Structure 1
């Protein structure tokens, strides 16, 4: 009973103190000249209590203000921008708000410059209101874990816009006008309501990452990117107008299928841009009565316009005149807006399309890669018949096709707006090939395996695999590609004639190699410390071989008798071994001790030596007759990829440079002379870290895939005659492992293989 009495008295005391503080709240005036309570805002804050209002008279106040009094209001005498605050110390914030429930409104706050993004208002507390301010050369920054704040009706220009830190909830950004900033509004890892803002002439209008937010009724104009969505975004984007973006309206850098995007007005040369991802985003609401963003009577999908008037919504027919297009809009791969909005004010039903296109080349030797560029007018549907057999080969607007066999072909494009059609044809002449090297590589990235024409870097096909495909191996006849998928723990089998998945084997996690006779596939399984053996006739696992700790890479001797496995080890269990497997018995017959963090491994064409890249900075040379290390080559860098030239005279190593630092991704390729195991050349890979190596069957070229921090990459080409980089082709994805598909004409023929080659040449 006594404790309960003390508690009641304490509550009563707190209540009395609170009432006393509120009743004592007053207005305090500040004038930079004289005639007021104080001449600086900081002095007024220092002498205020909870609930006070500080009224700032017209003038210029040069100071840095720290607000640590709860419930304080700071406002000007009049909201005409005549009360201006500039930072005394330009490297810190003009206002630092550390107390809860502070309101700052109507002030003109001038930051130092764009070079100081924290030079205006920084908030590290909750339930604050920043409204009606004019901010130049600075930004508003909400620190991490600052919740329940309102940022509304401010005018922000020539700075960093509004930045919202992580790990908070219930913040709102409403009705602000933001112009000429690096980013209009950015937020990370929290829930924010972003409504009714106008953002113009910024590099990025709105940027989100790990966000669960609502983006509603904003206007984004003349920005480089309208909205940029990063990792882990689960957002609703509705009722917005995104126009005249230089790069794109929305850039979805993850494409993870957790966004609802509808009733927006897009009018950009490129409305949507995707990075590789699983897709599955929602692009339309269910058909609902109600005025949509262009004034039509139903809420459905989005209005897809382009500045030149060729957007889907500007062309697609609407025969029932309900303001919803009669065709779904294919945004990207399997992404569709099934209820696209159209304009009821334009006579779309009377529009007649005109088919037109160009081909990157119209004649050349096989295999001939042709990129078709659509120039049709008033079209929303495209049907391409690449060999004029009456069957549609592609519905992409700008497809790529490979003519693999000699012949004369007629290409027929039929363009449509859903009601009327138009066609155009052109001829393609393909001559007999003169090169014995088939110029296609298969490269893993994101959720896909890309098929690339190495001459131009053109992606000629894309096979959706699943999360995190890692390494690639090709059967000797070039008919099948095997890909390990680390996320799903399986191996996908791709038919190279059709570039479709024909089988999936539930095994494996990282590296993969095919036996020289094409009958077996060996796969590393790091999490279970074993090697799985797949029979290629049945695509079933026929054996499992325990090896060392975390098997990383694998290679097979040219006679197919031995399999060498590099055991990488883990953080908690280092390993420094290579396991040697007898392919006939599937038993480990030897263990070779090498350096820690073993990575890439390759065997010479004569089968006498194995070269092993150790991330430390050197390469171990193993004698396969004795299974002992006979030499060590100091690379002075960190190698993790290795291949041997078909002549056996050179070994190529790739990895990150010794001077690698955070934020950089430069790599290297070094060449070892196998006659004396010395490095004879080193090439810098600038702007990319090597992720894979492959050498052509004739040994004349080495291809290097390089990934960089921007999410894009390059395909570097090395001329092995002089060991110099002869070319670098940009690819618009982050590449991983790669393998070269052999030329069918150079593969040793079996009885009916020539017929198979002829049939296969007609496919993409």
Structure 2
């Protein structure tokens, strides 16, 4: 149920598209085997979800009017079944009178398992079986050039092929939302996007795809753990990317784009990692901050790196460094030490402590014996440390993932069963069965998040070399 809290409510919750007051509304699909429940909002006003919506029609909520506020009140929208084309919320390009739809606000709602979580229609919707390419239609082209304004906030989209699609929209604002575990997080074509305080994480492809946009800001965001580029700049101009945490194997891919800046003139305000100056971004790759991997110093401890960082040919002049943690160069005035050749044997490798905003973890110790007898069970422990700024809750599923020989000798996945506060640790107790064949083995463990099939790992693997006799 959707409730309209002012103006007279005019919506359809039917099995075919029905116009209000008999005014024909052209909305796809006009024909075809599309039946089932949906909600149509065709008048200005404030609407609230009163319960979850599970739609059998391919679109859950259709907005064909300007000046609409849709408040989900933390309820969710999802399709009754997956596999077919589906959209959680569709905002039309034109209203029933042929005027551009603008002034739409979508807030406090969760959208699950759609083809497109939110679809902001442009002149070409031909990717859907009911859509069409109307780029040659003068009325549609004029509507595209109109300064349409749509804003989303407090929105969570997960499990979709594309979290949100925006086409030909001049002014798009996405604030304080979470776009995670989709194939593509956000796809924005054209316009001037304003993306603030958004988590774009763990998407199997691109996190944020900007195509032919001009200007706009990406700030206060955590773009991390995406399998493709965190941000793909595709023929864009003049986008400003500043005060974000970027932690992907490829943070930015730059495709024929120009005028992008990765920093803001320094501001005396708290930045995304709680420092005193706001300027550039915190950069990491696979959980390893670049101020460690690229040896970026912060001699004056002001939280800004002493040298710029370059990504995809773009320069961040004011890389963020947690105060007091920048790379410290070794002393150079010590007497040289004679180098004596040694024979190297495998040794345990531990992940260094880091300081990073958000959810993060490292393995800091173990009681696994260095020598074991074959086919023998040993009670052992591994300790994991919360070196992030956020407390771990059950929903985060932070734990330890065992790989290779470690996964066959003991549990493959260990999940922290309780809240672990920032800067506290948790110790796992479990049984480890030694291999049946004598030899030297390397056990590998990884601090991770997400459970079986986990896609987010933190830092380097933690390794333990054992000798089995």
Match of 1:163 among 103, 119, 126: 119
Could you tell me how far apart the structure 2 residues matched to 1:54 and 1:163 are? 22
Distance 1:264 1:119, change over 3 A: same
Shift of 1:259: 0.6
Match of 2:233? Answer: 252
Residues 312 and 155 (structure 1), Cα distance of their counterparts in 2 relative to 1, 3 Å cut: same
Q: Secondary structure at the match of 2:40?
A: strand
Cα deviation 1:164-192 (Å, max 9, x = unaligned):
12435221111101111111122122211
Q: What is the Cα deviation at residue 163 of structure 1?
A: 1.1
Matched, 1:209 2:209: no
- 2:299 aligns with 319
The match for 1:110 is 54
Instruction: From the superposition, tell whether residues 269 and 239 of structure 1 become closer, same or farther in structure 2 (CA, over 3 Å).
Output: same
CA distance in 2, matches of 1:49, 1:252: 41
Offset at 1:332?
2.5
Deviation digits for residues 591-622 of structure 1, max 9, x if unmatched?
xxxxxxxxxxxxxxxxxxxxxxxxxxxxxxxx
2:224 to 230, 243, 246: 243
Classify 1:302/1:100 alpha carbon distance in 2 versus 1 (closer, same or farther; 3 Å): same
1:68 aligns with 2:20: yes
**Residues 179 and 69 (structure 1 numbering): CA distance in 2 closer, same or farther, change over 3 Å?**
farther
- Give the structure with higher Rg (CA): 1
CA distance in 1, matches of 2:328, 2:198: 31
Deviation per CA, 1:646-695, whole angstroms, max 9, x where unpaired?
A: xxxxxxxxxxxxxxxxxxxxxxxxxxxxxxxxxxxxxxxxxxxxxxxxxx
Between 1 and 2, higher relative CO (CA 8 Å, sep ≥ 6) is seen in 2
d(CA) in 2 for partners of 1:311 and 1:263?
A: 15
- 2:230 match: secondary structure: strand
1:273 corresponds to 2:213: no
Q: Cα 1:308–1:66, aligned 2, differ >3 Å: closer, same or farther?
A: same
Matches of 1:93 and 1:211 in 2, distance apart?
33
Does 1:219 pair with 2:171?
no
Measured at CA, do residues 102 and 50 of structure 1 come closer, stay the same or move farther in structure 2, by a change above 3 Å? closer
Q: Give CA deviations for 1:370-405 in whole Å, capped at 9, x if unaligned.
A: xxxxxxx99xxxxxxxxxxxxxxxxxxxxxxxxxxx
1:136 corresponding residue in structure 2: 78
1:257 positional shift: 3.3
SS of 2:297's partner is: coil
TM-superposed deviation, 1:266? 0.4
- Asked whether the equivalents of residues 9 and 43 of structure 2 are also in contact (C-alpha less than 8 Å), the reply is no
How many angstroms does 1:104 deviate by? 3.7
State the match for 2:177 in structure 1. 197
Q: Note the 1:406-485 alignment, pairs <5 A.
A: none
**Residues 261 and 93 from structure 1, CA distance in 2 versus in 1: closer, same or farther, beyond 3 angstroms?**
farther
Counterpart contact for 2:208–2:232, Cα < 8 Å: yes
Match of 1:99 among 9, 29, 43: 43
Task: Could you tell me which runs of 5 or more consecutive residues in structure 2 were left unpaired when the two chains were aligned.
Answer: 23-32, 80-86, 94-99, 123-143, 332-350, 353-469
How many residues were matched structurally?
Answer: 282
2:322 matches 1:343: yes
Aligned pair partner of 2:105 in 150, 154, 158: 150
Give the CA deviation at 1:232: 3.4
Q: Answer yes or no: is the 8 Å Cα contact 2:105–2:150 preserved in 1.
A: yes
Which protein has the bigger strand share?
A: 1
- 8 A Cα contact 2:301 2:324, kept in partner: no
* Contact 1:286 1:300 (8 Å CA) reproduced: yes
What secondary structure is seen at the aligned counterpart in 1 of 2:283? strand
Structure-2 separation of matches of 1:297 and 1:49:
43
Partner in structure 2 of residue 456 of structure 1: none
Displaced runs of 4 or more, over 3 A: 52-55, 61-67, 89-93, 312-315
SS at match of 2:328: helix
- Which residue of structure 2 aligns with residue 294 of structure 1? 273
- Taking the aligned partners of 1:54 and 1:275, their CA distance within structure 2 comes to 45
Cα offsets for 1:67-95 (capped at 9, x unmatched): 7379xxxxxxxxxxxxxxxxxx7457712
Give 2:162's match in structure 1, choosing from 183, 191, 197: 183
Distance 1:271 1:131, change over 3 A: same
63 and 206 in structure 1: CA distance in 2 versus 1, 3 angstrom threshold: same
SS at match of 2:322: coil
In structure 1, the residue matched to 2:7 is 51
Deviation at 1:153, TM superposition (A): 0.6
2:244 to 236, 261, 264: 264
Query: Cα deviation per residue 1:479-528 (whole Å; 9 max; x = unaligned)?
Result: xxxxxxxxxxxxxxxxxxxxxxxxxxxxxxxxxxxxxxxxxxxxxxxxxx
- In structure 2, the CA distance between the partners of 1:162 and 1:184, relative to structure 1 (3 Å rule), is same
Q: CA RMSD, aligned part only? A: 3.4
CA distance in 2, matches of 1:49, 1:309: 49
- Aligned-partner Cα distance in 2 for 1:291–1:139: 36
Instruction: Give TM-score scaled by structure 1 length.
Output: 0.34
Within 1, Cα distance between the matches of 2:118 and 2:66?
Answer: 16
SS of residue in 2 equivalent to 1:232 = coil
2:212–2:237 CA contact under 8 A, matched in 1: no
Query: What is the deviation of 1:316?
Result: 1.5
For the residue of structure 2 that corresponds to 1:284, the secondary structure is coil
**8 Å Cα contact 1:106-1:131 kept in structure 2:** no
Distance 1:293 1:119 in 2: 36
Alignment TM-score, normalising by the size of structure 2: 0.54
* Contact 1:329–1:337 (Cα < 8 Å) also in 2: yes
Residue 293 to residue 54, structure 1, CA distance change in 2 (3 Å): same
* CA apart distance, 1:149: 0.8
Measured after TM superposition, the shift of residue 212 of structure 1 is: 1.1
Deviation at 1:276, TM superposition (A): 2.9
Checking the alignment, whether the CA contact within 8 Å between 2:240 and 2:260 is kept in structure 1 is yes
Structure 2: distance between partners of 1:49 and 1:280? 44
